[in-house]
Amino acid sequence: MTTSEQQDTTGTTREGTLRAPLRRFRVAAVVTGIGLLGLVVVMIIRYGFGNPEPSAIYSPIHGAIYMVYLALAVDLALKARWTLWGTAAVLLAGCIPFVSFLAERKVTHRVRAHPAY
């Protein structure tokens, strides 16, 4: 048995412990990024054209999507043992259009380099 396949106290192997959380985070990051772009469109409709109805419908949906992103990012952060500042940066990346896509790529590269991946 190799070092990366050593068993922990529960009997499961450490190999691949970050694969599933990373996969969930990646999906959430992409969905959040697309959701942010949708929110930009809705805000243009609201403030540019004076129609608040799409915003009233879409904003709570976007809020729920972002909450899922936060939960999955924190889950991955705890399992990958990120620093507090690194975790905060990834959480804030979900607030700025296009940045969640960049954060997803950077996080993917860092986690895949992690020994527990």
CA distance 29 to 52: 27
CA triplet 49, 52, 53: central angle to 5 degrees?
120
**Model confidence over 2-31: pLDDT tens digits?**
444 444 454 444 457 899 999 999 999 999
Q: What is the mean pLDDT of the chain?
A: 88
Residue 96 lies in a domain: yes
Number of domains forming the structure of the chain: 1
Split at pLDDT 50, 70, 90, the class of 114 is: confident
CA distance 93 to 29: 9
**Model confidence over 70-97: pLDDT tens digits?**
999 999 999 999 999 999 999 999 999 9
- Could you tell me the residue range of the domain that residue 86 belongs to? 18-110
Mean pLDDT of 88-114: 92
